[in-house]
Structure 1
Amino acid sequence: MADQAQFDPGNVEVGRVSVRRGWCPTAWRPMAAGDGLLLRVRPSMGRITAEQARLIARVAARHGNGAIDLTNRAALQLRGLDEAGWRAALDTLVAAELVDADPARETLPLLVAPDWRDGDDTHRIATALSARLAELPPLPAKFGIALDAGAGCVLGNASADLRVERADTGALMLRADGRPTGVAISAGEEVDLIRALADWFVASGGTAAGRMARHDAALPAWATGGLRPRRSTGALVDDPRSYPLPFGRIDAEALAALTDRDGLTALRLTPWRALLLEGVRAPKSDVGDLRHVDACVGAPACPQASVATRPLATELAPLIAGTLHVSGCDKGCARRTQSDVVLTGRDGRFDLALDARADTMPALRGLTYEQVLAHFKGLPRAA
């Protein structure tokens, strides 16, 4: 396998950090970060067995720096690899069927609701779509599909462009992201209609927009409907099997230790910075409640960030009652939507905005780390 893996210096150059924006890494096309190469793994159905988890931990420790990130699209990122480590890791992951041997099948983010059960609609549609991914047209790098056909929709806030969901009427529905309503679909026709809407997206100029929500062309009549997605009655992050990861980070040693629990069969990856354990209750986390906080990896691990993000986010977490986003730059990778408080790195300092995104015009500019803390310590503490 190693002789088949082709390192692409046009996109990633070892020893020189790529600053290309809007490009998503895969296992076959790793991305250069400040701490080395980043290899992304998207397991089938968002599930890894306990043995596969132990293998990932060994690969991360042996060929990278041991850091593993769970992304907001339910993928795992192994960090700190060099070119030789990437090649060895890729061979191992392909052999374990954690990475597809066909690089083209690794390019499209397919997000599956982590509460799926064998044979249910989510599982059925994901299986059918996975078998027909080659029929989809070439789509933008960040384009994704969410399959969320359980009793209630749990992926409404997760990043995706086409969504198969459970409607408030109980029917299956297809919805283009950015539109509040969708159209009813029949069981068995989901893949055909996903393909048709993807074809329309490309043919109508959506590739230039990049994402469905930014594409303002009128949908075809057949894809226009009045159904609204049914919301979940409870968040999976409150499930007793849910194991939160601070900022989505776990190291190889901790992942291996997590799999040693008696009765654990597999781990489900979620887009909420938490792992869902199969067969056992999750152990008590020794970190504070950071569920309302988003922070990217920041400097120095990300070459586009000019500030360290997570130390500040951790200090601010108990001071802020609402949502907090600390972003190393205005890309806002950790959170695409608005947050109550957002701090964005710029030239080594922080810009502050409220009810905003990372790329919003700030209310205050050029704050130091200490000035940010002083500002929020002067406000009433969170309840």
Structure 2
Amino acid sequence: MSAPIVQGWCPGAHRPMMSGDGLVVRVRPRLARLDTQQALGLCKLADRFGNGTIDLTNRANLQLRGVSEADHQSLLTELAALNLLDAEPGIEVRRNILVSPLYRTGDLTARLARELTDRLNELPALPAKFGFAIDTGPQRLLAKASADIRLETGAEGLILRADGAETGRLVSDVDAIDQLIALARWFAENHTTETRRMARVITAFDLPDTWQGSAPGHSGAPLQPGPCTLGSLYGAAFGQLPARHLGELLENSGASALRVTPWRLILLEDGERIPAPEFVTDGTDPLMTTDACPGAPLCPQAHVATRDIARALAPRVAGSLHVSGCSKGCARMGSADVTLVGHNGRFDLVKQGRAGDEPSKRGLTPETLMTMDLT
């Protein structure tokens, strides 16, 4: 089997991506939030047009899989009726904005996210995966999430930080988006086809001192399934949200809205904590530290099926587990304690590394893996 193809872009709603089971159609919730009617409507669309499951991505987006090309336009019409579709494809491509999920209506995070959304047309041309994080709560929560330019809580106040830089620039809420656009322009002037993310650009070019000097603040504890100040958090194994069960959970909990996160967690605003056997409700569940892509046959680039073996091995791995259908490692960009990479129908084993790293063992079958000591 040939090497996996790096697409260099993520699917959208206007521009879906063909996969092994049909089109992947991505919905980018504004401010990481859908009101209850939008969320219930999306659940119905997943059943009507997709495979009945909604994927929660590590960029806090939602995806419908298994959509036929013949149904794509009808799906877009329905998404527009729910106000879940950008008017133009160009806006959708630029709106890669992560927000800290615990924001409150009208606070600094919400205001900055809305201003950035309103001013997307002022950004220069940027690579398709280039993204922004607005992480301005009492403690930073998005430090390990994928983003290229970060507005975040600093030790001395609000800072703007280039991803990969240890420090950022002190800004005010008045000029924060002006400065963000200026930093995006600096990136656009310096990036190449080989350096399409900010962290790589600043290793190739010295980041001007004007964008450095102010340290970021402390990071908060990772969110876990359970009650929180805004409602209830539930986990989704491998980021999979069964549409019918999600709809039932929204209705039975009395939630007023659904918020999405980049950590396979959903937040039900004002939702009562109720039993939900189809979701992860215990923060110690090993599935919360296990990543697995859709695998074969859903992804045409995958060499192996992934999620059954991931679910079986999760309780046997003390730390984090990543099962990848190919060497791209789409489900987890960072390293894991144990990474299994599909290759020609079997698995290669990487310890303390990423999917593209040199394996310590090759050609392992699922049966062999189930008998191995993976600690």
Taking structure 2 as the reference length, the TM-score comes to 0.92
Q: Deviations over 1:237-266 (max 9, x none)?
A: 244111111110012211211221253100
Give the match's secondary structure for 2:183: helix
Are the counterparts in 1 of residues 225 and 265 from structure 2 also a CA contact under 8 Å? no
- Show the counterpart of 1:270: 261
Q: Contact 2:22/2:66 (CA < 8 Å) preserved in 1?
A: yes
Structure 1 residue aligned with 2:322: 325
How many residues align? The count is: 359
Q: 3-state SS of the aligned residue for 1:140?
A: coil
Question: How far off its partner does 1:43 sit?
Answer: 1.1
- On the 8 A contact 1:28/1:103 being kept in 2, the answer is yes
Gaps of at least 5 residues in structure 1 are 1-17
Is 1:231 matched with 2:222? no
Q: What does the per-residue CA deviation read over 1:162-191, in whole Å, with 9 as the maximum and x for residues that have no partner?
A: 11000133x001111112221211121111
1:89 aligns with 2:79: no
Among 100, 107, 110, the alignment partner of 1:123 is 110
In the alignment, structure 1 residue 151 sits paired with structure 2 residue 151:
no
Structure 1's 20 and 292: CA in aligned 2 closer, same or farther, altered over 3 A?
closer
Instruction: Report if the CA contact (8 A) 2:55-2:62 is conserved.
Output: yes
Write the deviation string for residues 325-370 of structure 1: whole angstroms up to 9, x where unpaired. Answer: 1111111111111111111111111110111011000000111111
- Partners in 1 of 2:275 and 2:192 — Cα distance? 45
User: Would you say 1:214 and 2:236 are equivalent positions?
Assistant: no
Q: Which residue of 2 aligns with 1:4?
A: none
Once the two structures are superposed, the pairs formed by residues 1-383 of structure 1 within 5 Å of their partners are 21-108=7-94, 109-169=96-156, 171-206=157-192, 208-215=194-201, 216=203, 217-232=205-220, 234-240=221-227, 241-286=232-277, 287=280, 288-376=285-373
The answer on whether the counterparts of 1:139 and 1:207 sit within 8 Å (CA) in structure 2 is no
Query: Match for 1:70: what amino acid?
Result: L
Amino acid across the alignment from 1:273: R
**How much is the aligned-residue C-alpha RMSD, in angstroms?**
1.6
One-letter identity of the residue aligned with 2:217: P
CA contact (8 A) 1:244 1:285 kept: no
TM-score computed with the length of structure 1 as normaliser: 0.90
Looking at structure 2, the residues matched to 320 and 64 of structure 1 have their Cα atoms a distance apart, in angstroms, of 33
Matched residue SS, 1:65: coil
- Higher mean Cα deviation, 152-161 or 202-211? 202-211
Q: State how far apart, in whole Å, the 2-side matches of 1:298 and 1:151 are.
A: 38
Q: Secondary structure at the match of 2:337?
A: strand
Structure 2: gaps of 5 or more residues: none
CA distance in 1, matches of 2:155, 2:219: 8
SS of structure 2 residue aligned to 1:281: coil
**Fraction of identical pairs, as percent:** 47
In 2, Cα distance between equivalents of 1:158 and 1:20:
20
